[in-house]
A and B are shown apart, each in its own frame.
Chain A
Amino acid sequence: MDFLRTSVIPHFNYWIYVILMMIGLWAMIGKNNLIKKLIGMSIFQTAIILFYVSIGVKTGADIPIPAHHAHHDEAAAGAGAREEEDKLDPDAFANPLPHVLMLTAIVVGVATLGVALAISQSIHKDFGTLEEDEILEKIKASTHDG
């Protein structure tokens, strides 16, 4: 119970990402169907995105966009407004950098999934199945013939 209060609840976001990651890993390794493996891969990557997004969050912080007028002033007054912007309290805003990084990671994840689906389509054309054990059996049979 103490463990729950000191380690699990304050860090629940990390626990969730680890659980999601393990689900994904298990699906990638343990599932027989290639598409299920890919679903596992997506869960795995999404878990990491969740991890990154959660490290950018601060309690009581706002979205990291300064109020409109400050932005406008900067365009108009140049260096003077920049100084004013420096006075913004960084604790009042969530850290945008991890979120921005995850935009890239999402794109990478989509591209990986696309390539993997194209490859599994090509496997289906060659073997007529997407079940791993059946594919391995067919490979075995073909090498024995040759």
Chain B
Amino acid sequence: MAEQLPALILLAPLFGALLVGLAGPRDRRVCFPVVLGALAVSLCSAVGVLVRVLAGGPVDYFVGGWSEPLGIGIQLRVDTLNGLVLVVIAVVFVLVGVFSIRRAGEENTEKSPQYYTLFLLLAVGVFGMTVTGDAFNLYVLVEVSSLTGYALIAMGSSPRGTVAAFNYVVMGTIGASFYLLGVGYLYMATGALNMAQIHEIVATTGAGGSRTVLVAFILILAGLWTKMAFFPLHGWLPNAYGYCPSTSSSVLAPLVTKVYIYVMIRVMLGVFGAEWIFEHVGWTNIVVWLATVAILAGSLLALAQTEVRKMLCYLIVAEVGYMVGGAWLANRWGMAGAVYHIVADALMTLCLFLAVNIIVKRTGRLRMDAFDGLFRKMPLTMAGFAVGALAMIGIPPTAGFFSKWYLLRGGIESGHFEYVAALLLSSLVNAVLFFRLFERAFFGGNPAGGHHPDRTAAESGPTQQGWVGDSTLLGGEARASTLGPLLAAAALVVAVGLLNGPIVSAILRYFENMPVLGAP
């Protein structure tokens, strides 16, 4: 049983999706237990695999027992790097699953079984991208997760969301196609599709010097950068995540870009190899500058937004810059920081999106004024939001502080001070953004002051749909099924921050045999 765990991570949500798709339309009550059960199996398998990996090294799994010599088997491979990412993905899916118990039915009135089917299929795609050890299989799973992502975004009632989904389809297809083309060139040069085999051929034979491999690398990188919304290829992201249903954005925003960062790191280290990338190709300076521009552009564009959710979307663009830059510093602290930041950023983005989605729903407003006086009205929701925001700014003991610490250390050790400066500046911009919201939440919309008589009347009245029929235990607080995941995510942001030592040392051990990343 234990050796089947890597496959079980994928199979549980796949069969769950089939079950929900078939039985869900007849009886809606089936959906939620199946979704949570399937994701719980994935979570347990992911944790089990990670424990095995930490104890005994990488775990290989050949689907159907078609092992390497034939070269046609699909390999699943779990090591420290993707073991961590798998656990985080599973945690995010479980939390968003709980978050969507009642939300999914409200937002997709007739379509909640379809929503859950797509939700589980997205889990299959994202888990698969993380766990696969085969370059072409990765393309298929990229498309599985992208297609479900397009549908999840287009499900909402907002016409702007639908238009954004269309643009995302076009951009996403261009990105995935470039990746596919790159894999084709790689196959021409090496005759292999298995990542480990390609790596061996590129590293040991003369194939690494060929121009075909270089073209393959450029195409793959261009494709992945489009998919992860690396500035200036970020055009599809803000509207797609800003105008889609809250249940969809809560799962897509924390995961999708981060998983592509992981895929980029996997392609860099596991397919082409660190030596080939940093010594043979050696574009470190250019890419770190691109990342610097991405960080600054994302932060400045976030500053220009008036809607809270879109502001968070531009912050994601900036965060993608952090991680791409960290991975390209050619320094083990930068690389470890990038991997740790995948974990940290997934959790803090989840935290912020859950909080903002709760707040937007309760107040019915998309703009900053939604936050007026919220510390008084929804103290727990705001506490969760505050933890996410402090992590985004980088204040200890949240995970955001430690990931920035490692990224900065990598930047300083490798002498990329432009990246260090951009990181610090972006933290300052985040501080401005979030303290502006905190100020509103503490002091804004004071009913006694009577600054906004019309607004306070609308808030106190029962006309707002969200306020009716909720648990009234905590007054204005959100219902437990949405608040619980938010507080759990906030607790995890702090927990991952406190556990940064063991996590980062496990990641660093992974880079031990890559001398190009610097001596330990």
Looking at B72, B173, B193, the one whose CB has the most chain A CB atoms below 10 A away is: B173
Q: Could you tell me if A112 and B162 are in contact, using CB atoms closer than 8 angstroms?
A: no
Contact of B143 among A28, A48, A111 (CB under 8 A): A111
Instruction: Mark interface residues in B158-169 (1 if CB within 8 Å of A CB, else 0).
Output: 011011011001
Q: Could you tell me if B140 and A139 are in contact, using CB atoms closer than 8 angstroms?
A: no
Interface stretch, picked from A2-10, A59-67, A119-127, is A119-127
Q: Could you tell me if A119 and B169 are in contact, using CB atoms closer than 8 angstroms?
A: yes
A139 to B174, CA, bound (A): 25
Contact of A115 among B140, B150, B193 (CB under 8 A): B150
Return chain A residues, CB-CB under 8 Å to B169.
41, 112, 115-116, 119
Q: Could you tell me if B162 and A119 are in contact, using CB atoms closer than 8 angstroms?
A: yes
Instruction: Mark interface residues in B161-193 (1 if CB within 8 Å of A CB, else 0).
Output: 011011001100110010011001001100001
Return chain A residues, CB-CB under 8 Å to B483.
none
Which chain A residues numbered 42 to 59 have a C-beta less than 8 Å away from chain B? 44-45, 48, 51-52, 55
Return chain A residues, CB-CB under 8 Å to B177.
44-45, 48
Interface stretch, picked from A68-76, A77-85, A97-105, is A97-105
Return chain B residues, CB-CB under 8 Å to A19.
none
* Cβ of B438 under 8 Å from chain A: no
Instruction: Say whether, besides A28-B174, A116-B169, A122 and B187 are in contact (CB < 8 Å).
Output: no
A28 to B154, CA, bound (A): 19
Which chain A residues numbered 98 to 142 have a C-beta less than 8 Å away from chain B? 98, 101, 104-105, 108, 111-112, 115-116, 118-120, 122-123, 126-127, 135, 139, 142
A126 to B269, CA, bound (A): 46
Q: Could you tell me if A51 and B187 are in contact, using CB atoms closer than 8 angstroms?
A: no
Interface SS of B by simple majority = helix
A103 to B177, CA, bound (A): 15
* Cβ of A94 under 8 Å from chain B: no
Q: Could you tell me if A115 and B147 are in contact, using CB atoms closer than 8 angstroms?
A: yes
Q: Could you tell me if A41 and B170 are in contact, using CB atoms closer than 8 angstroms?
A: yes
A55 to B169, CA, bound (A): 28
* Cβ of A25 under 8 Å from chain B: yes
Quick one: closest B residue to A130, CB to CB? B166
A116 to B181, CA, bound (A): 21
A75 to B15, CA, bound (A): 34
How many B residues face the partner with a CB closer than 8 A? 26
Looking at B140, B169, B174, the one whose CB has the most chain A CB atoms below 10 A away is: B169
Return chain B residues, CB-CB under 8 Å to A41.
169-170, 173
Return chain B residues, CB-CB under 8 Å to A37.
170
Q: How far is the CB of A12 from chain B (nearest CB, A)?
A: 16
Return chain A residues, CB-CB under 8 Å to B165.
119
Q: Could you tell me if B162 and A123 are in contact, using CB atoms closer than 8 angstroms?
A: yes
How many A residues face the partner with a CB closer than 8 A? 31
A116 to B177, CA, bound (A): 15
Q: How far is the CB of B212 from chain A (nearest CB, A)?
A: 11
Instruction: Mark interface residues in B135-169 (1 if CB within 8 Å of A CB, else 0).
Output: 01001100100010011001000011011011001
Q: Could you tell me if B173 and A135 are in contact, using CB atoms closer than 8 angstroms?
A: no
Return chain B residues, CB-CB under 8 Å to A97.
72, 187, 193
Q: Could you tell me if A123 and B166 are in contact, using CB atoms closer than 8 angstroms?
A: yes
Instruction: Say whether, besides A45-B177, A51-B181, A98-B187, A120 and B166 are in contact (CB < 8 Å).
Output: yes
A120 to B166, CA, bound (A): 7
Looking at B139, B147, B150, B170, the one whose CB has the most chain A CB atoms below 10 A away is: B170
Quick one: closest B residue to A41, CB to CB? B173
Instruction: Say whether, besides A25-B174, A41-B173, A122 and B184 are in contact (CB < 8 Å).
Output: no
Return chain A residues, CB-CB under 8 Å to B193.
97
Q: How far is the CB of A58 from chain B (nearest CB, A)?
A: 13
Return chain B residues, CB-CB under 8 Å to A118.
154
Q: How far is the CB of A1 from chain B (nearest CB, A)?
A: 24
Instruction: Say whether, besides A112-B169, A119-B162, A119-B166, A98 and B154 are in contact (CB < 8 Å).
Output: no
Return chain A residues, CB-CB under 8 Å to B188.
55
A60 to B193, CA, bound (A): 25
Quick one: closest B residue to A146, CB to CB? B366
Return chain A residues, CB-CB under 8 Å to B166.
34, 116, 119-120, 123
Q: How far is the CB of B64 from chain A (nearest CB, A)?
A: 15
Quick one: closest B residue to A28, CB to CB? B170
A98 to B193, CA, bound (A): 10
Return chain A residues, CB-CB under 8 Å to B181.
48, 51
Return chain A residues, CB-CB under 8 Å to B139.
105
Instruction: Mark interface residues in B63-104 (1 if CB within 8 Å of A CB, else 0).
Output: 000000000100000000000000000000000000000000
Complex A-B, nearest 3 residue pairs according to Cβ-Cβ distance, in ascending order: A126-B159, A108-B143, A116-B169
Q: Please name 16 further chain A to chain B contacts, defined as beta carbons within 8 Å, in addition to the given A48-B181, A112-B143, sorted by A numbering.
A: A25-B174, A34-B166, A44-B173, A44-B177, A48-B177, A48-B184, A51-B181, A108-B147, A111-B147, A112-B169, A112-B173, A119-B150, A119-B154, A122-B162, A126-B159, A139-B163
16 contacts between A and B (CB under 8 A): A41-B173, A44-B177, A45-B177, A48-B181, A48-B184, A55-B188, A108-B140, A108-B143, A115-B147, A115-B150, A115-B154, A116-B150, A116-B170, A119-B169, A123-B162, A139-B163
B interface, CB within 8 angstroms of A: 72, 136, 139-140, 143, 147, 150-151, 154, 159-160, 162-163, 165-166, 169-170, 173-174, 177, 180-181, 184, 187-188, 193
